[in-house]
Structure 1
Amino acid sequence: MRVHFTADTHFGDPRALRFDHRPFPDLDAHDEGLIAAWNAAVAPGDIVWHLGDFALGPPPERIAEILARLHGEKHLITGNNDGPATLAASGWASVRAYAEIAVEGRALVLCHYAFRTWNGIGRGALNLHGHSHGKLTPMPKQYDVGVDPMGFAPVGLPAILASRRRKARPAN
């Protein structure tokens, strides 16, 4: 069993195609592409923490259908675009605004929003968040796990940590 993180999938939300310049020709292709990428990365027995903005726009039955198609035990950290249909959808193992968990011995503070400071920051705790779609300059120990900066699929902690190291390397 592995633990993955993602955010800002915006299933059913046409704004994601315009504002985030996602490489899909239309909303159906967007949703199907994200579902395929999710299921390629996540095994049925894995855990996924979705850090908000799961879906906006589709009717409740479509949200439930998308959620049922996604592999893994799914936990939702609520985002500003998660409406009542998303929050009430069956298929979430938990729904809350904030969580503190440990993965691979590392303390993690999970919220849809990036923090300036957080519990355990001085002891190495990381802040994982979404909301900014990769447009916010991160503070040390802070990572945007949304689909825009992380490649359209949920990612594990090693890939999250490696993402900062890749950006810090000078180009050859």
Structure 2
Amino acid sequence: MMGRLHYFDFVTSDTHFNHPVMIEKEQARSHFETVHEMNEAMIEQWNKHVKKKDVVLHLGDLGFINHYRSPNELRAILKRLKGYKYLIPGNHDTREVLQVAREAGFTILSPLEIVKLQRKELHFCHYPIEVGRSPKRFSIHGHIHSSTSTHWNQINVGVESPDSKEFGKPFSREDILELMYERMHPVS
């Protein structure tokens, strides 16, 4: 069953828990010696900022399962994360990952959710999408890791986003509002 999102306190994307290739592939993760160390850093950031009753939206590429990384291992990680957790699946979120996420307390959402915030439409999706040139619509996304979004009204909320103040820190609703304001009122 799919959930429906109307509100959020935090949003993040592309944690890729348990995925060893991310340490080799992403500069922001290259200082980690092990997958366990990378996982622990992201769990620590999440739980440092998110309170028990906060609503957290994850925009996909949650974690990794294969013959070396078991579903139980991922489930144990996800159960440690605070908050009411929602997931918009990403391109690496297999059926097995989605099942583990459900078992760990995530509500699975549709690939696109729209939430209104201060008379703006926030289009939440794993991928950056074009939402027109209106200052009333923003694409909040992941997928592109440490790359910058193409359009001014796209905000990358991945754990390695160039807009992030700290690796792994989820973006708060206030962070999103601040980034939207900066994009609508660029300093010359």
- Which category of TM-score, normalised to the shorter sequence, fits these structures? 0.7 to 0.9
Q: What is residue 3 of structure 1 aligned with on the other side?
A: 9
Match of 2:96 among 85, 88, 92: 85
What is the CA distance between 1:64 and its match in structure 2? Answer: 1.5
Q: Could you tell me how far apart the structure 1 residues matched to 2:112 and 2:33 are?
A: 34
Q: What is residue 140 of structure 1 aligned with on the other side?
A: 152
Q: TM-score, normalised by structure 2?
A: 0.79
Q: Are the structure 2 counterparts of residues 148 and 48 from structure 1 closer, same or farther at C-alpha, using a change threshold of 3 Å? A: same
Q: What is residue 37 of structure 1 aligned with on the other side?
A: 45
Give the AA of the match of 1:155.
F
Q: What is residue 170 of structure 2 aligned with on the other side?
A: 154
Q: What is residue 54 of structure 1 aligned with on the other side?
A: 62
Match of 2:110 among 96, 112, 118: 96
Unpaired runs of 5+ residues, structure 2, are 1-6
What is the CA distance between 1:24 and its match in structure 2? Answer: 1.6
Residues paired across the two proteins, number: 167
Q: Could you tell me how far apart the structure 1 residues matched to 2:49 and 2:118 are?
A: 18
Give the AA of the match of 1:76.
L
Match of 2:20 among 7, 10, 14: 14
Q: Could you tell me how far apart the structure 2 residues matched to 1:141 and 1:158 are?
A: 16
Q: Is the aligned partner of 1:110 residue 2:118?
A: no
Give the AA of the match of 1:146.
G
1:40-93 residue CA offsets vs partner (Å, 9 max, x unmatched): 010010001100100013321122211110001111011011112221121112
* Aligned-residue RMSD, C-alpha: 2.3
Q: Are the structure 2 counterparts of residues 141 and 110 from structure 1 closer, same or farther at C-alpha, using a change threshold of 3 Å? A: same
Q: Could you tell me how far apart the structure 2 residues matched to 1:17 and 1:3 are?
A: 28
Unpaired runs of 5+ residues, structure 1, are none
Q: Are the structure 2 counterparts of residues 147 and 60 from structure 1 closer, same or farther at C-alpha, using a change threshold of 3 Å? A: same
Q: Could you tell me how far apart the structure 1 residues matched to 2:22 and 2:118 are?
A: 32
1:86-135 residue CA offsets vs partner (Å, 9 max, x unmatched): 211211123332211124553211110001236xx636121100000131
Could you tell me whether the CA contact under 8 Å between 1:87 and 1:95 is conserved in 2? no
Give the AA of the match of 1:153.
K
Q: Could you tell me how far apart the structure 2 residues matched to 1:163 and 1:107 are?
A: 14
Q: Are the structure 2 counterparts of residues 36 and 116 from structure 1 closer, same or farther at C-alpha, using a change threshold of 3 Å? A: same
- The 5 Å alignment of 1:66-81 reads 66-81=77-92
Could you tell me whether the CA contact under 8 Å between 2:8 and 2:57 is conserved in 1? no
- Counting aligned pairs with the same residue, the percent is 29
Could you tell me whether the CA contact under 8 Å between 1:124 and 1:141 is conserved in 2? no
Q: Could you tell me how far apart the structure 2 residues matched to 1:161 and 1:133 are?
A: 21
